[in-house]
């Protein structure tokens, strides 16, 4: 067994991610957030974490409806990041990965700004790791698989976590 060492940049094994850089670890953290949601009949229960790619640390977390105004998990991450940035002075110009248990919304029935637009505007996210696709329960078609790459942001599914992410997302349905 490999012991997770902090910064090996020798990773030549294509497609195999080292233990210290395991997307499943961060997706699990996002799932932990999702489980904090108050179940809702009319919305999904999603969790998200924002990870600083330089330090591999979670710098913000969020879950659906955590803040006032029917907030989405990714939206809450950005709210908290903005609140924290003044206090903690995160390195400006740093790059981040966003882990979300369900792909970011591209349309909202409420007319609020979709998370996809917020991700693009944030301007410092290189990859969005996704637990499961958005079912067509509320919005017919989520276009994140196309719109993220169109804006230079990688869309990656985290293998094997879809069913659990979906189950949690549908709490209360």
Asked if residue 147 binds Zn ion (CB under 5 A), the reply is: no
Decide if residue 48 touches Zn ion (CB under 5 A). Answer: no
> Minimum distance between the CB of residue 98 and Zn ion, rounded to whole angstroms?
11
Looking only at residues 58 through 87 of this chain, which bind Zn ion when binding is defined by CB under 5 A? 72
The window from 87-95, 105-113, 141-149, 153-161 that contacts Zn ion (CB under 5 A) reads: 105-113
Per DSSP bridges, beta strands 47-52 and 96-102 are antiparallel
Shortest CB 65 distance to Zn ion, Å: 11
Instruction: Examine the residue annotation and report whether 75 is marked as an active-site residue of this protein.
Output: no
- Helix/strand/coil for 50: strand
Provide, rounded to whole angstroms, the least separation between the CB of residue 24 and Zn ion.
Answer: 22
Judged by CB under 5 A, which of 30, 50, 105, 130 binds Zn ion? 105
Q: Does 144 bind Zn ion (CB under 5 A)?
A: no
- If the CB atoms of residues 72 and 147 are measured against Zn ion, the closer one turns out to be 72
**Catalytic one of 33, 66, 74, 75:** 74
The answer to whether residue 115 forms part of the interface with Zn ion (CB under 5 A) is yes
Give the 3-state secondary structure of residue 140: coil
Residues, the chain, total?
Answer: 173
HEC readout, 58-81: EEEEEECCCCCCCCCHHHHHHHHH
Q: How far is 151 from 148, CA to CA, in rounded Å?
A: 5
Stretch in the footprint of Zn ion (CB under 5 A) among 22-30, 32-40, 88-96, 101-109 = 101-109
CA end-to-end distance (rounded Å), the chain: 41
3-state secondary structure labels for all residues of 89-137: CCCCCCCEEEEEEECCCCCCCCCCCCHHHHHHHHCCEEEEEEEECCCCC
Positions marked active-site: 74
Binding site for Zn ion (CB under 5 A): 72, 105, 115
């Amino acid at each position: 067994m490999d012991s997770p060492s902090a910064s090996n940049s020798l990773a030549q094994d294509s497609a195999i991610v080292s233990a210290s850089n395991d997307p499943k670890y961060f997706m699990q953290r996002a799932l932990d957030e999702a489980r904090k949601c108050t179940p809702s009949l009319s919305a999904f229960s999603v969790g998200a974490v924002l990870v600083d790619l330089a330090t591999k640390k979670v710098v913000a977390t969020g879950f659906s409806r955590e803040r006032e105004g029917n907030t989405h998990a990714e939206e809450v991450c950005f709210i908290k990041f903005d609140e924290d940035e003044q206090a903690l002075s995160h390195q400006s110009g740093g790059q981040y990965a966003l882990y979300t248990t369900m792909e970011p919304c591209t349309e909202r029935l409420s007319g609020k700004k979709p998370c996809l637009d917020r991700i693009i505007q944030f301007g410092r996210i290189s990859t969005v790791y996704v637990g499961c696709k958005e079912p067509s329960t509320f919005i017919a078609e989520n276009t994140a698989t196309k719109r993220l790459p169109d804006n230079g942001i990688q869309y990656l599914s985290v293998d094997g976590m879809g069913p659990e992410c979906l189950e949690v997302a549908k709490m209360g349905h």
